[in-house]
Amino acid sequence: MGGLSPEREVSLTTGQAVFEAIKRNGLEAVAIDVDRKIAVNLEKSKIDIAFIALHGTFGEDGTIQGILEYAKIPYTGSGVLGSSIAYDKVKSKEIFKFNGIPSADYQVFTRSQKKNKTSRTLDLPVVVKPSTQGSSIGISIVKQESEWPKALELAFKYSEEVLVEKFIEGRLVAIGMNGEQPFPIVHIKPKSEFYDYESKYTQGKTDYICPAELSAEEKSACEEIAVKVVRALKGRGVPRVDAILDDQGTPYILEMNTIPGMTPISLLPMAANQAGLNFDELVMEILKTAQLDYQ
Protein backbone atom coordinates (compact mmCIF):
# COMPACT_ATOMS: atom_id res chain seq x y z
CA MET A 1 0.00 0.00 0.00
CA GLY A 2 1.02 3.67 -0.08
CA GLY A 3 3.62 3.93 -2.78
CA LEU A 4 4.97 6.84 -4.78
CA SER A 5 2.04 7.94 -6.96
CA PRO A 6 -0.37 10.89 -6.47
CA GLU A 7 -2.86 8.29 -5.19
CA ARG A 8 -0.67 7.50 -2.17
CA GLU A 9 -3.11 8.77 0.48
CA VAL A 10 -6.06 6.85 -0.97
CA SER A 11 -3.89 3.74 -1.18
CA LEU A 12 -2.91 4.06 2.47
CA THR A 13 -6.59 4.31 3.45
CA THR A 14 -7.48 1.27 1.34
CA GLY A 15 -4.47 -0.65 2.63
CA GLN A 16 -5.19 0.04 6.28
CA ALA A 17 -8.82 -1.06 5.91
CA VAL A 18 -7.75 -4.28 4.20
CA PHE A 19 -4.95 -4.91 6.72
CA GLU A 20 -7.37 -4.65 9.65
CA ALA A 21 -9.91 -6.91 7.93
CA ILE A 22 -7.29 -9.60 7.31
CA LYS A 23 -6.25 -9.49 10.97
CA ARG A 24 -9.89 -9.71 12.08
CA ASN A 25 -10.10 -12.91 10.04
CA GLY A 26 -7.33 -14.40 12.18
CA LEU A 27 -4.50 -14.29 9.66
CA GLU A 28 -1.01 -12.93 10.26
CA ALA A 29 -0.41 -9.82 8.19
CA VAL A 30 2.11 -7.06 7.66
CA ALA A 31 1.39 -3.65 6.09
CA ILE A 32 4.12 -2.73 3.61
CA ASP A 33 4.36 0.95 2.62
CA VAL A 34 6.02 0.67 -0.77
CA ASP A 35 9.17 2.69 -1.48
CA ARG A 36 12.21 2.27 -3.75
CA LYS A 37 13.46 -0.59 -1.56
CA ILE A 38 10.35 -2.71 -2.08
CA ALA A 39 12.24 -5.72 -3.49
CA VAL A 40 14.49 -5.86 -0.41
CA ASN A 41 11.56 -5.28 1.95
CA LEU A 42 9.57 -8.08 0.30
CA GLU A 43 12.39 -10.51 0.89
CA LYS A 44 12.62 -9.47 4.54
CA SER A 45 8.86 -9.71 5.08
CA LYS A 46 8.69 -13.46 4.32
CA ILE A 47 5.05 -13.12 3.20
CA ASP A 48 3.20 -15.99 1.50
CA ILE A 49 0.58 -13.91 -0.34
CA ALA A 50 0.44 -10.24 -1.36
CA PHE A 51 -2.83 -8.32 -1.19
CA ILE A 52 -2.21 -5.41 -3.54
CA ALA A 53 -3.85 -2.21 -2.30
CA LEU A 54 -1.33 -0.09 -4.21
CA HIS A 55 -3.14 2.42 -6.43
CA GLY A 56 -1.66 4.36 -9.32
CA THR A 57 1.70 4.13 -11.07
CA PHE A 58 3.91 1.23 -9.91
CA GLY A 59 0.85 -0.43 -8.30
CA GLU A 60 -1.71 -0.88 -11.06
CA ASP A 61 0.50 -0.79 -14.15
CA GLY A 62 2.18 -4.21 -13.89
CA THR A 63 5.30 -2.99 -12.08
CA ILE A 64 4.69 -4.40 -8.59
CA GLN A 65 3.13 -7.46 -10.22
CA GLY A 66 6.40 -8.12 -12.08
CA ILE A 67 8.43 -7.85 -8.87
CA LEU A 68 6.08 -10.30 -7.13
CA GLU A 69 6.37 -12.71 -10.06
CA TYR A 70 10.16 -12.75 -9.63
CA ALA A 71 9.76 -13.31 -5.89
CA LYS A 72 7.22 -16.12 -6.53
CA ILE A 73 4.68 -14.45 -4.22
CA PRO A 74 1.07 -14.95 -5.41
CA TYR A 75 -0.80 -11.64 -5.53
CA THR A 76 -4.34 -10.32 -5.89
CA GLY A 77 -5.66 -8.49 -8.93
CA SER A 78 -4.75 -8.79 -12.59
CA GLY A 79 -1.44 -10.12 -13.84
CA VAL A 80 1.46 -8.18 -15.37
CA LEU A 81 -0.04 -7.74 -18.86
CA GLY A 82 -3.63 -7.32 -17.68
CA SER A 83 -2.59 -4.63 -15.20
CA SER A 84 -0.48 -2.82 -17.78
CA ILE A 85 -3.08 -2.58 -20.54
CA ALA A 86 -5.96 -1.72 -18.20
CA TYR A 87 -3.94 1.09 -16.59
CA ASP A 88 -3.09 2.65 -19.96
CA LYS A 89 -6.29 4.40 -21.07
CA VAL A 90 -5.09 4.79 -24.68
CA LYS A 91 -4.25 1.09 -25.06
CA SER A 92 -7.55 0.18 -23.40
CA LYS A 93 -9.43 2.32 -25.93
CA GLU A 94 -7.66 0.60 -28.82
CA ILE A 95 -8.62 -2.81 -27.41
CA PHE A 96 -12.23 -1.68 -26.88
CA LYS A 97 -12.42 -0.54 -30.50
CA PHE A 98 -10.92 -3.80 -31.81
CA ASN A 99 -13.39 -5.86 -29.78
CA GLY A 100 -16.47 -3.81 -30.67
CA ILE A 101 -16.92 -2.55 -27.11
CA PRO A 102 -18.82 0.77 -27.03
CA SER A 103 -16.59 3.66 -25.98
CA ALA A 104 -16.58 7.39 -26.66
CA ASP A 105 -14.89 8.77 -29.78
CA TYR A 106 -11.39 9.85 -28.87
CA GLN A 107 -8.15 11.47 -29.86
CA VAL A 108 -4.64 11.00 -28.44
CA PHE A 109 -2.23 13.87 -27.81
CA THR A 110 1.50 13.64 -27.22
CA ARG A 111 3.76 16.35 -25.81
CA SER A 112 4.75 17.50 -29.32
CA GLN A 113 1.08 18.34 -29.98
CA LYS A 114 0.54 20.10 -26.66
CA LYS A 115 0.80 23.63 -27.97
CA ASN A 116 -1.02 23.01 -31.24
CA LYS A 117 -4.50 24.24 -30.37
CA THR A 118 -5.88 23.49 -33.85
CA SER A 119 -5.01 19.78 -33.83
CA ARG A 120 -8.12 18.76 -31.90
CA THR A 121 -10.74 17.34 -34.25
CA LEU A 122 -13.46 16.56 -31.69
CA ASP A 123 -16.16 19.15 -31.09
CA LEU A 124 -16.73 20.41 -27.55
CA PRO A 125 -17.59 19.31 -24.94
CA VAL A 126 -14.74 16.87 -24.41
CA VAL A 127 -13.14 15.10 -21.45
CA VAL A 128 -9.37 15.52 -21.14
CA LYS A 129 -7.49 12.97 -19.06
CA PRO A 130 -3.97 11.63 -18.54
CA SER A 131 -3.52 8.24 -20.19
CA THR A 132 -1.91 6.73 -17.10
CA GLN A 133 -3.50 7.99 -13.88
CA GLY A 134 -6.37 7.11 -11.56
CA SER A 135 -8.78 8.65 -9.05
CA SER A 136 -9.80 11.30 -11.63
CA ILE A 137 -6.48 13.08 -11.08
CA GLY A 138 -5.67 15.49 -13.92
CA ILE A 139 -9.10 15.19 -15.57
CA SER A 140 -11.05 18.15 -16.95
CA ILE A 141 -14.33 18.60 -18.79
CA VAL A 142 -13.86 21.23 -21.47
CA LYS A 143 -17.00 23.07 -22.56
CA GLN A 144 -15.49 26.35 -23.79
CA GLU A 145 -12.60 26.75 -26.21
CA SER A 146 -10.82 29.01 -23.71
CA GLU A 147 -10.60 26.06 -21.26
CA TRP A 148 -8.81 23.76 -23.71
CA PRO A 149 -5.14 24.85 -23.26
CA LYS A 150 -5.36 24.74 -19.46
CA ALA A 151 -6.98 21.29 -19.47
CA LEU A 152 -4.31 19.91 -21.78
CA GLU A 153 -1.54 21.42 -19.63
CA LEU A 154 -3.01 19.87 -16.48
CA ALA A 155 -3.28 16.40 -18.00
CA PHE A 156 0.32 16.52 -19.25
CA LYS A 157 1.53 17.02 -15.68
CA TYR A 158 0.59 13.40 -15.01
CA SER A 159 1.17 11.53 -18.26
CA GLU A 160 3.25 11.50 -21.43
CA GLU A 161 0.10 10.88 -23.46
CA VAL A 162 -3.27 12.55 -23.04
CA LEU A 163 -6.60 11.03 -23.98
CA VAL A 164 -9.34 13.38 -25.22
CA GLU A 165 -12.82 11.85 -25.39
CA LYS A 166 -16.13 13.10 -26.67
CA PHE A 167 -18.29 13.92 -23.64
CA ILE A 168 -21.25 11.57 -23.34
CA GLU A 169 -24.29 12.67 -21.37
CA GLY A 170 -25.73 9.91 -19.23
CA ARG A 171 -25.68 7.98 -15.97
CA LEU A 172 -22.34 7.00 -14.47
CA VAL A 173 -22.38 3.36 -13.36
CA ALA A 174 -19.85 0.99 -11.82
CA ILE A 175 -20.00 -2.76 -12.34
CA GLY A 176 -17.92 -4.64 -9.80
CA MET A 177 -16.92 -8.10 -10.96
CA ASN A 178 -16.22 -11.27 -9.00
CA GLY A 179 -14.26 -12.96 -11.76
CA GLU A 180 -16.80 -12.87 -14.59
CA GLN A 181 -19.79 -12.66 -12.27
CA PRO A 182 -21.16 -9.09 -11.91
CA PHE A 183 -21.99 -7.66 -8.51
CA PRO A 184 -25.07 -5.40 -8.19
CA ILE A 185 -24.50 -2.24 -10.27
CA VAL A 186 -23.86 1.11 -8.56
CA HIS A 187 -25.33 4.34 -9.97
CA ILE A 188 -22.97 7.21 -9.09
CA LYS A 189 -24.54 10.68 -8.73
CA PRO A 190 -21.91 13.32 -7.86
CA LYS A 191 -23.22 16.60 -6.50
CA SER A 192 -20.54 18.55 -8.38
CA GLU A 193 -20.16 18.76 -12.17
CA PHE A 194 -18.37 15.44 -12.44
CA TYR A 195 -17.01 12.58 -10.35
CA ASP A 196 -13.67 14.18 -9.44
CA TYR A 197 -11.17 13.32 -6.69
CA GLU A 198 -13.09 15.26 -4.04
CA SER A 199 -16.40 13.67 -5.03
CA LYS A 200 -14.87 10.21 -4.79
CA TYR A 201 -13.24 10.51 -1.40
CA THR A 202 -15.28 13.04 0.58
CA GLN A 203 -18.29 11.78 2.52
CA GLY A 204 -21.52 13.42 1.35
CA LYS A 205 -20.17 14.77 -1.96
CA THR A 206 -21.79 11.99 -4.00
CA ASP A 207 -25.01 9.98 -3.81
CA TYR A 208 -24.87 6.27 -4.60
CA ILE A 209 -27.77 4.05 -5.61
CA CYS A 210 -27.12 0.32 -5.30
CA PRO A 211 -28.57 -1.63 -6.88
CA ALA A 212 -28.94 0.95 -9.64
CA GLU A 213 -32.47 1.65 -10.82
CA LEU A 214 -32.13 0.23 -14.32
CA SER A 215 -34.48 -1.52 -16.69
CA ALA A 216 -33.92 -5.23 -17.25
CA GLU A 217 -32.47 -4.42 -20.68
CA GLU A 218 -30.07 -1.77 -19.30
CA LYS A 219 -28.91 -4.07 -16.50
CA SER A 220 -28.32 -6.91 -18.93
CA ALA A 221 -26.42 -4.64 -21.34
CA CYS A 222 -24.14 -3.37 -18.56
CA GLU A 223 -23.42 -6.85 -17.25
CA GLU A 224 -22.75 -8.34 -20.68
CA ILE A 225 -20.38 -5.58 -21.73
CA ALA A 226 -18.56 -5.70 -18.37
CA VAL A 227 -17.83 -9.40 -18.89
CA LYS A 228 -16.56 -8.60 -22.39
CA VAL A 229 -14.27 -5.87 -20.97
CA VAL A 230 -12.82 -8.20 -18.33
CA ARG A 231 -12.02 -10.78 -20.98
CA ALA A 232 -10.57 -8.27 -23.46
CA LEU A 233 -8.32 -6.61 -20.86
CA LYS A 234 -7.29 -9.90 -19.23
CA GLY A 235 -8.91 -8.93 -15.94
CA ARG A 236 -8.55 -11.20 -12.95
CA GLY A 237 -9.77 -11.38 -9.38
CA VAL A 238 -12.27 -8.67 -8.45
CA PRO A 239 -11.96 -5.73 -10.87
CA ARG A 240 -14.48 -2.93 -11.49
CA VAL A 241 -15.76 -1.73 -14.85
CA ASP A 242 -16.94 1.90 -15.14
CA ALA A 243 -19.34 3.11 -17.82
CA ILE A 244 -21.65 5.91 -18.93
CA LEU A 245 -25.16 4.70 -19.73
CA ASP A 246 -26.65 6.97 -22.42
CA ASP A 247 -30.32 7.75 -23.08
CA GLN A 248 -30.61 4.83 -25.50
CA GLY A 249 -29.44 2.40 -22.81
CA THR A 250 -26.01 1.81 -24.34
CA PRO A 251 -23.16 1.51 -21.80
CA TYR A 252 -20.08 3.38 -23.06
CA ILE A 253 -17.05 1.95 -21.27
CA LEU A 254 -14.66 4.32 -19.50
CA GLU A 255 -12.16 1.88 -18.02
CA MET A 256 -11.54 -1.25 -16.03
CA ASN A 257 -10.03 -0.69 -12.60
CA THR A 258 -7.84 -3.67 -11.65
CA ILE A 259 -7.42 -2.59 -8.01
CA PRO A 260 -10.70 -0.96 -6.94
CA GLY A 261 -10.64 1.23 -3.83
CA MET A 262 -11.52 -0.37 -0.51
CA THR A 263 -12.13 2.77 1.54
CA PRO A 264 -15.27 3.14 3.72
CA ILE A 265 -17.12 4.85 0.83
CA SER A 266 -15.68 2.82 -2.05
CA LEU A 267 -17.89 1.33 -4.76
CA LEU A 268 -16.80 -2.31 -4.69
CA PRO A 269 -17.56 -2.92 -0.98
CA MET A 270 -20.92 -1.19 -1.50
CA ALA A 271 -21.81 -3.53 -4.38
CA ALA A 272 -20.51 -6.61 -2.58
CA ASN A 273 -22.60 -5.74 0.47
CA GLN A 274 -25.72 -5.75 -1.71
CA ALA A 275 -24.66 -9.21 -2.87
CA GLY A 276 -24.47 -10.41 0.75
CA LEU A 277 -20.74 -10.01 1.39
CA ASN A 278 -19.64 -7.70 4.20
CA PHE A 279 -16.29 -5.90 4.00
CA ASP A 280 -14.28 -8.59 5.80
CA GLU A 281 -15.82 -11.33 3.67
CA LEU A 282 -15.04 -9.38 0.50
CA VAL A 283 -11.41 -8.98 1.55
CA MET A 284 -11.12 -12.72 2.09
CA GLU A 285 -12.76 -13.47 -1.26
CA ILE A 286 -10.22 -11.21 -2.98
CA LEU A 287 -7.36 -12.80 -1.03
CA LYS A 288 -8.42 -16.25 -2.26
CA THR A 289 -7.95 -15.13 -5.88
CA ALA A 290 -4.22 -14.49 -5.43
CA GLN A 291 -2.07 -16.22 -8.04
CA LEU A 292 0.95 -15.88 -10.29
CA ASP A 293 1.14 -15.47 -14.07
CA TYR A 294 4.21 -17.70 -14.20
CA GLN A 295 4.28 -20.85 -12.10
Query: Would you please indicate which residues are annotated as catalytic (active-site) residues?
Result: 7, 135, 201, 240, 242, 255, 257, 261
Alpha-carbon span 57 to 63, nearest angstrom: 8
- Residue 190's SS3 state is strand
Task: Render 243-266 in DSSP notation, one character per residue.
Answer: EEE-TTS-EEEEEEESS---STT-
**162, 129 in Cβ contact below 8 A?**
yes
Alpha-carbon span 165 to 94, nearest angstrom: 13
Alpha-carbon span 130 to 8, nearest angstrom: 17
- Residue 145's SS3 state is helix
Residues in contact with 112: Cβ distance below 8 Å, sequence separation at least 6, in sequence order = none
Which secondary-structure segment (H or E) carries 86? Answer: helix 80-87
| Partners of 190 in beta bridges | 206
206: left (phi over 0), alpha (psi -120 to 50) or beta: beta
**14, 52 in Cβ contact below 8 A?**
no
Measure Cα distances from 73 to 18, 65, 86, 94 in Å: 18, 9, 22, 31
Residues in contact with 9: Cβ distance below 8 Å, sequence separation at least 6, in sequence order = none
Which secondary-structure segment (H or E) carries 83? Answer: helix 80-87
